[in-house]
Structure formats: structure tokens, C-alpha cells
Amino acid sequence: MGCNDLWLVTELPEGAPDRTGQGLLSYGARLSKLLDSSWRALVFSPLGLETRQMFADYGVPEVTILKNAERYLDTPQILGAMLAGFVAEQNGGIIAFAHNDLGCTLAPLLAARLDAALVTEVNALSRNDQGIQLSRRVMGRRIDEARIWHQRGFLLITVPVNALSPVSLHTDAKTSLQINEYISPAEAELAESATKCSVIVERIPSDPQTVDLTDADVIFCAGKGCDNADFEQLRELCRLLGTSLGVTRPVYDLGWADFDRMVGRTGRCVKPRLYVTFGVSGSMHHVGGIQDAQHIVAINNDAKAPIFPNADQGFVADVKEILPRLLERVRTATGGK
């Protein structure tokens, strides 16, 4: 690996990269073109056939599997030490992580062990006469900070998850994927040191009712078109389906929900997989906070409501008719639990 090389540390949560992992691969493909560098993925568990195909579809030329690393996913300190052992055997280059729990844990561990440069939440990267220029937002995102890395040794970067799009732009003919295994010579010694490390003993999924709305997967949003009875039905629907409840500003003003449940420019800017609105008009203040939602469904009894041009699917309907029927079906399907 020369200073030009790029490694993507890719997680395989269910045996394959999830949206974030796919986004990182897509990012790597683009970055390697921009920097004219070679690139590879580094993973912590073996690849099944479908996963191999997925890597090939993203145009990944090479994957290195850190053998037995999956045993240490709950002991990030050991995982970091193993990873650092592997990286230290290379000559230098860029190692990229998603800015998620694992990336935020491993990147600083590696930086300390390798005495390497670390830049977190990189939102742009380019090459110039002096080296690699990186930019990131600081001071509560009010200031863009530019840095230069002079391409000596290693540079560790983390990339914000919302900047990682899983869309693959790889168009070349099928890539032939090379797979290597790396066996850490220090594994036994590292495993012995486990008693000195903190170990993750439990992972509890977040409660959709209290999760930060910016992290919510599915949000049902109540607008002023809902009266109190509709709102209570929507709340029950959310509970039964395990979705998160959001509100518009007038609903927040009524005191039916806390400020952290308000969606929009003043409230939370959200990016769920699915966003369903019930009696929301679609004012610019509200719509400004849902631009990054992947799929928007709107229910409103006014066909001219501005939410409709902003939605992927729209239903001109009365929430008073829709909500009880929806709730009835969900109660039946879930047994009301």
C-alpha cells in the first residue's frame, strides 16, 4: 500500500454491508477515482457468496478479511489493536470509516497506535499541490474548516453517515474480486489482555417513542388536521407498529407533544426511510425539515395542499376515516400489543 492507497473499513452486520456499508463502498469508488488511487475493503468476517457479489457490484477490486476479528466485535480495544497490527504492516495511505459507533471507536484507537493523522466527519476531500485537502464542519456546523494532509504515513478519516449514499455508480464490466485473509500474529497475546478492556455486554434497540427523531427509521407525523382524538389514535398506531411520532408546530403549540418531537426547520430535520403525514399542509418551514426522508406519504383532505408535490405518494382523504380503519387493522394484526 502506498500513500495513494485507500482502505474502507466495512461492517457486515447481517453478513453483508448495510446501507451505511454500501454507502462507504460507493464513496470509496468515487474517492479512488478522484484521487486516482487503488482501493480495497477491510472486513471483520468471512464473505458469503451474495456478499461477494455485492462487493463486486460496487466495483471493489479487493477485500481483506481480518481473520477471527468477529470474535472481538464486543471488545473494540482488541479489534482496534488487531486492525492497527494489520495497517502497520502497510506503507501508508487513507483508511476510511463511517462516522458511526464502530468508526468513532476504532479510528481514534488506530490513530493513537499508528501515530497517524485523524480527521473526523470529513465532508469533502480533494488533491492539490500540497497534498490531500479535507474539509469538515466545526463550531456546530457554522464554520467550514479545511486541512491538508501531506501524504506521509496514514490518514484516518470518518465520513458522516448521511453523506453516504448506497447508490452504486459503478458501471464497468463485472469486477473480479480478489479476497485475502490476514491472520494477526498477536491474536493470542491480545486475547489475553481482554480482561483489561471494557466489553460490550448488551445492545438494547432504541425505543421509537423516545429515539432522537433525527435517527428515527419511520415517522408518522400529526398535523393540525388531526384533532385530539385523531392524535391519540395516531399515538396508539405508532406504539403498535413501533414507529416514531412527529408533530408540526401547531400541534406542538397545543402542548400534545414535546419540542423534540417537532419536525421542521425550527424543529428536527429528519431523514427516515418512511415519513407519513396525517393532516399536514406542507408549509415550507415543515417541508424544509423532511428533505432527506427517503419516501414521503401524505394524507390530506385538500387536494391542493402543498404537501402533495413534496410527497412520493399522496392520498386525498379524511384522517377521521383513515385513522380508525388503519388502527383497527393493526390492532387485529398485532393483537393490540
Ligand X SMILES: Cc1cc2nc3c(=O)[nH]c(=O)nc-3n(C[C@H](O)[C@H](O)[C@H](O)COP(=O)(O)OP(=O)(O)OC[C@H]3O[C@@H](n4cnc5c(N)ncnc54)[C@H](O)[C@@H]3O)c2cc1C
Residue 261 binds ligand X, judged by CB under 6 A? no
Residue of 31, 35, 82, 305 that binds ligand X (CB under 6 A): 305
Tally DSSP H helices, then E strands, for the chain. Answer: 9, 15
Distance CA 117, CA 124 (A): 16
User: In degrees, to the nearest 5, what angle opens at C-alpha 17 toward C-alphas 16 and 19?
Assistant: 135
For residue 159, give the H/E element and its range. strand 154-159
* Closest to ligand X by CB, 35 or 319: 319
Residue of 76, 272, 279, 314 that binds ligand X (CB under 6 A): 279
Residue 276 binds ligand X, judged by CB under 6 A? no
* Shortest distance in whole angstroms from residue 143 CB to ligand X: 24
Task: Enter the DSSP assignment of 231.
Answer: H
Residue 265 binds ligand X, judged by CB under 6 A? yes
* Closest to ligand X by CB, 177 or 262: 262
* Closest to ligand X by CB, 122 or 280: 280
Stretch that binds ligand X, among 57-65, 80-88, 171-179, 317-325 (CB under 6 A): 317-325
Stretch that binds ligand X, among 7-15, 22-30, 118-126, 257-265 (CB under 6 A): 257-265
What is the residue-wise DSSP string for 38-103?
Answer: -EEEEESS---HHHHHHHHHTT--EEEEETTGGGGTT-HHHHHHHHHHHHHTS--EEEEEESSHHH
Stretch that binds ligand X, among 6-14, 71-79, 170-178, 281-289 (CB under 6 A): 281-289
Residue 301 binds ligand X, judged by CB under 6 A? yes
Task: Enter the DSSP assignment of 162.
Answer: G
Residue of 116, 159, 286, 326 that binds ligand X (CB under 6 A): 286
> Residue with CB nearest ligand X?
264
Going residue by residue from 214 to 253, which x/- string records binding to ligand X, judged by CB under 6 A? Answer: ---------xxx----------------------xxxx--
- Which residues make Cβ contacts (< 8 Å) with residue 195, sequence separation at least 6? none
- Applying CB under 6 A, the site for ligand X has a residue count of 27
Neighbours of 201 (CB within 10 A): 6
- Which residues make Cβ contacts (< 8 Å) with residue 269, sequence separation at least 6? 214, 263, 288, 289, 290, 291, 292
Q: Among 8, 88, 68, 3, which residue's Cα sits nearest to residue 41?
A: 8
Residue of 17, 300, 311, 326 that binds ligand X (CB under 6 A): 300
Residue of 52, 113, 235, 285 that binds ligand X (CB under 6 A): 285
What is the residue-wise DSSP string for 103-128?
Answer: HHHHHHHHHHHHT-EEE-SEEEEEEE
Site residues for ligand X per CB under 6 A: 223-225, 248-251, 262-267, 279-281, 283, 285-286, 289, 300-302, 305, 318-320
